[in-house]
Structure 1
Amino acid sequence: MKKIGLTLLTAFVGGAMALGTYKVIENKYADNMSFDDKQQVYFASNHMTPNITSSAGEVDLTQAAAAVTPAVVYIRTTYSSNTSDPREDQLQRMFGDMFGQRMPQRSQPQMASGSGVIISPDGYIVTNNHVVAKADKIEITTNDHRRFKAKVIGTDPNTDLALIKIDADNLPIVKLGNSDDARVGEWVLAVGNPFNLTSTVTAGIVSAKGRGIGIIGQDNNDDDNPFGPTRNSGQPKARAGIESFIQTDAAINPGNSGGALVNTRGELIGINSAIASHTGSYEGYGFAIPINLAKKVLNDIKKYGAVKRGMIGVTFADLSETDKTQGINTDKTNGLYVTGVLPNSAGEAAGLKEGDIITKVEGNTVYESSDLQERVARLQPGDKINLTIARGNAEKNVTVTLKPETAPVRTAASRSSSELYNKLGASFMPLNANQKAKFHVNNGVMVTQVREGGIIDEAELPTGTVITSINKMPINNTNDIDKAVTNLKNGLMTISGYYPDGTKFNNTFSVEE
């Protein structure tokens, strides 16, 4: 019995010594191990690491394609010659030629094409606003080659969505999914009608989420780029629309616009809307409107005929875009810097102040404006949204009750002021102390966004420009701009200030009131 005990003790001590020696050797030579070897050691010994399985399982896309294709329709639109000039409508210019394949005839009605997705058995179809905007006739061809005339129930240019309807029953539909659950790297299918090739399916993955590419609501007067959105245009664009695109590398081409982006379960997670391209054809990046945003827009259109939006009532600049926020005294690199709070707005009621930095929305980090805009765009007036803001060195949570979007009653004078302000085509932020010191001025505003076609754009004043006076009136904020732009003499407006490099300018423009 003693021999057995001695043997066990000897074995235990020997094993401990061997393990100790292994650990010494492992630590000594760990730095010489390759990353592959380190990974193998780590995952072999770390039994708590969960096994990751593909969201698609074995990649078989045939069932998803079979489920979705019958509900994706071909849309053909006709435009009369006096409304078909693509320069008459910015979205038609940016999207219609690129996705709609509009023919170049000028003396006769023109035609364009796109895609749509049936979302209700009684004939409701979702597509892009730019596919049907200003169309005189809309013809739908279903996957089984039936043809219908469609009518527009309503459109929302701010999200580039439209709801149309055909008179039919028992139609196949696509199941609405949850775009919040879509994961980067997940397999997806794009289904549409590129180049008039009906019922075309392409596959790829989700490349990114929450993309804002500055396309919706943008003017585009660049004759060298007739096909619309590209990502190398130099100056950042103002974002007039609501953008939080799902980016995918599934091939999307002219005619896919308005078609379906679905996951491997055949669930609709996005409406294909744009591509990043130098040529107008696929170059690797496509963008789809998240279905969770589309659901709210489409339900509102069906119920009210228009979208009812809740508003926070603040203006802001992305901290990530340093040229728009230079001089702000903060160590944060992500968030939205509040440049103004509108009077009687939801933001004012919640206690938001100019200079606050919105860092989170509903507990999720805000990296760019789309992170906030898309969340708010899903809500109705009266809904509440939780924000985290940084003020000074402290962070606090605030609950904002959204107020309805209203059109304020204006006098003739204020309406003229608003129209002239809009003609400037820019957004502005008051200078802080650091910026005033940098430019050696006592007052001024900084240009934070420039919209093409406005006075600021025509004057070639880039973002980061400081405007100190308009018509010899000192400028400190947007209220000063409102007053100054109405103080015209002989229809002339004089803008003075400094370029971002500190060079002084004094430019005079002719303005039609």
Structure 2
Amino acid sequence: MRKHNLKSFAVMALVSAVTAFICFVAFGRFFNNHPDVYVNTNPVKVHYTSYDSNASGSGGPVNLEDAAGIVIPVTVHINTKVPPKEISSGQGDNNPFGGFFGGNDPFSQLFGGGGRYYSPGKLASGSGVIISSDGYIVTNNHVIDGASKIIVTLYNDKSYAAQIVGIDPNTDLAVLKIDAKNLPYIVFANSNNVQIGQWVLACGYPLNLQTTVTAGIISAKSRNLGVNDEGTNPVDSYLQTDAAVNPGNSGGPLVNTEGKLVGINSAIATPTGSFAGYAYAIPSNIVRKVTNDILKYGTVQRAFLGVYLPNDANNPMNISFTPNDNTIPGFAVIGTVADGAAAKAGIQKGDIITGLGDAQINSEADLLGAIASHRPGDQVPVTFVRDGKPHTVEVTLKNKNNTTGIVKATIMDKLGAGLQNLPEKYAKEMGIKGGVVVTQIGSGLIKSQTDMQSGFIIVRAGDYPVKNVDDLQNALERQGNNVLLQGVYPDQQGMFSYAITDLKAGIVN
């Protein structure tokens, strides 16, 4: 009896092994012949996670219930209405002044040159988080950008009209205000202390659903995505998480297991537009600094270290540098701004920055994120390696004007564009006396009112010729509320004209 059982068992084992082998071979051949089943060779796209109705604590035992109970009441649903808008098309004209006083279009009679068309409006939604008991809310700038009406709905289903207190396209953040009192609010954590592998919760209103909480871990820090094209000097340094985030989650909180804010959910990496494994959040240290600046100064006080970045448009002649020792993690200084913060402190080309304040620096994204959490005038220790030896110096960070004073919003800021003087060499080649090159177009009047492209060279603003950036600023300050920007494209014939309105709305002298 026992022999018979052993024999039967041996036969069954042999049949199972043969069957497994056949399945393994068939499985391999099938997938080798059908790589599309499991391999995606297309580059993964990064998307903002606002929802467009028009668009197809750390280790140890984890208690997520407490964190969920804290974050749900402070997370809000944001619905926006973006109205149709009139766009100045900047049609080429070899004689831009020919129709200045003529034409049937009343706008042409006012400005002259260029054509106009309408961009349709849309309804959209996103999320936000309450940061004070009296109704201040943080969200993404791209959630409310261009909105004429913003409605905030709380967890208890009460809705309020919201006003924009301030925005910062460079970090993709915005502060809103609703008329409400005694609200629950989020507490900020120090995002520099966030560790890879620690548990986090994402909360928001994805896909126009009610409050939704998802869990995951921090899978990376200081991710450089290149997704922010709204700012003229963007900060690209994100926390990466595998907590599920979908369209509509933008602006919502990412919290640790204590329910404290570690980031604002902003983007997802996906080939489809919906969650596919990774999401990205703006670190809470940047969020706290930006919101405090907006509330205290009305505009963000951006600090600069005064070192050139490899892809910076201000990098003279695109200078580059390869450190002698590539094994040292950090940011290799390729050059310093004359009289800038780094140069004043003795930092030189070739130094490898490894720390700023309490942040460890392993990359450009680390450095940008660390600087973005400070203000001009802040004194911070900077650690660097030179000739294999570590050094630490105290650096006084500066503003964009290379001083430590408070910077107020200007009429140039309203344009929302990167602007540089046209080099004299190129001006001579083009047969013009000078001009201002639009190097980048972010969130502002140029983007919202025109279809101007990067590379446009401004040679006239209203009644005044423009040879440099100072000329442009002086011309705009002399103009009324409307101005016609005229200029050329290096690769196109004729003069182009773009009409800008509401130039001085909201500017405080």
Give yes or no for contact 2:305–2:342 (8 Å, CA) kept in 1: yes
Question: 1:375 & 1:327 partners in 2: Cα distance?
Answer: 23
2:194 is the alignment partner of 1:182: yes
Letter in 2 for 1:254: P
Q: Deviations over 1:60-95 (max 9, x none)?
A: 32222122111111000111111799xxxxxxxxxx
Structure 1: give runs of 5+ residues left out of the alignment: 1-53, 86-105, 220-238, 426-452, 457-489, 494-507
- Residue 321 of structure 2 corresponds to residue 340 of structure 1: no
1:457-485 deviations in whole A, cap 9, x for unaligned? xxxxxxxxxxxxxxxxxxxxxxxxxxxxx
Q: CA deviation at 1:424?
A: 6.3
Within 2, Cα distance between the matches of 1:356 and 1:420? 36
Q: Does 1:252 align with 2:245?
A: yes
Query: For the structure 1 residues 185 and 324, does the alpha-carbon distance in structure 2 shift closer, same or farther, using more than 3 Å as the test?
Result: farther
SS at match of 1:185: coil
SS where residue 310 of structure 1 aligns? Answer: coil
Determine the structure 2 residue equivalent to 1:301: 294
Please give the alpha-carbon distance, in whole angstroms, between the structure 2 residues aligned to 1:264 and 1:113: 27
Report the identity percentage: 43
Q: How many residues align?
A: 342
Please say which of residues 119-128 and 169-178 is displaced more in the overlay.
169-178
Tell me which residue corresponds to 1:81.
84
1:208 deviates by 1.3
Distance 1:167 1:417, change over 3 A: farther
Kept after mapping to 1: 8 A contact 2:72/2:203: yes
Answering whether residue 405 of structure 2 is matched by residue 405 of structure 1, we say no
Question: In the alignment, residue 308 of structure 2 is paired with which amino acid?
Answer: T
What is the correspondence of 1:62-101 to structure 2 with a 5 Å cutoff?
62-82=65-85
Letter in 1 for 2:127: S
Return closer, same or farther for 1:324/1:186 CA change in 2, 3 Å cut-off: farther
CA distance in 1 between partners of 2:223 and 2:194 (Å):
14
Partners of 2:326 and 2:186 in 1: CA distance = 46
Rounded to whole Å, the distance in 1 between the matches of 2:305 and 2:495 is 33
Counterparts of 2:488 and 2:437 in 1: how far apart (Å)?
Answer: 16
Amino acid at match of 2:371: V
Structure 2 unmatched runs, 5+: 1-56, 89-117, 312-317, 404-409, 411-418, 425-433, 441-452, 457-486, 497-509
- By how many angstroms is 1:245 displaced? 1.2
Call closer, same or farther: CA 1:58–1:71 in 2, change over 3 Å.
Answer: same
Which of residues 369, 374, 388 is equivalent to 1:374? 369
- Cα distance in 1 for partners of 2:222, 2:129 equals 22
Match of residue 496 from structure 1: none
Q: Which has the higher contact order (CA 8 A, sep 6+)?
A: 2
Change (3 A) 1:361 1:509: farther
Check conservation: 1:217, 1:240, Cα contact below 8 A.
Answer: no
Alignment match, 2:38: none
Give the corresponding residue for 1:276.
Answer: 269
Matching residue's letter, 2:257: T
TM-score, with structure 2 as normaliser:
0.60
Query: CA separation in 2, counterparts of 1:124 and 1:335?
Result: 37
Question: RMSD over aligned Cα, in angstroms?
Answer: 3.6
Tell me, in whole angstroms, the C-alpha distance in 2 between the residues paired with 1:357 and 1:70.
45
Partner SS for 1:375: helix
- 1:164 paired to 2:176: yes
Cα distance change on mapping 1:310 and 1:201 into 2, 3 Å: same
Q: Tell me the equivalent position of 2:151.
A: 139
2: distance between equivalents of 1:362 and 1:109?
A: 45
Q: Deviations over 1:99-152 (max 9, x none)?
A: xxxxxxx88641110000011110000000111112111001111111100001
For residues 272 and 324 of structure 1, do their structure 2 counterparts lie closer, same or farther at Cα, with a shift above 3 Å needed? farther
Kept after mapping to 1: 8 A contact 2:190/2:285: yes
Gap change, CA 1:248 and 1:303, over 3 Å in 2? same
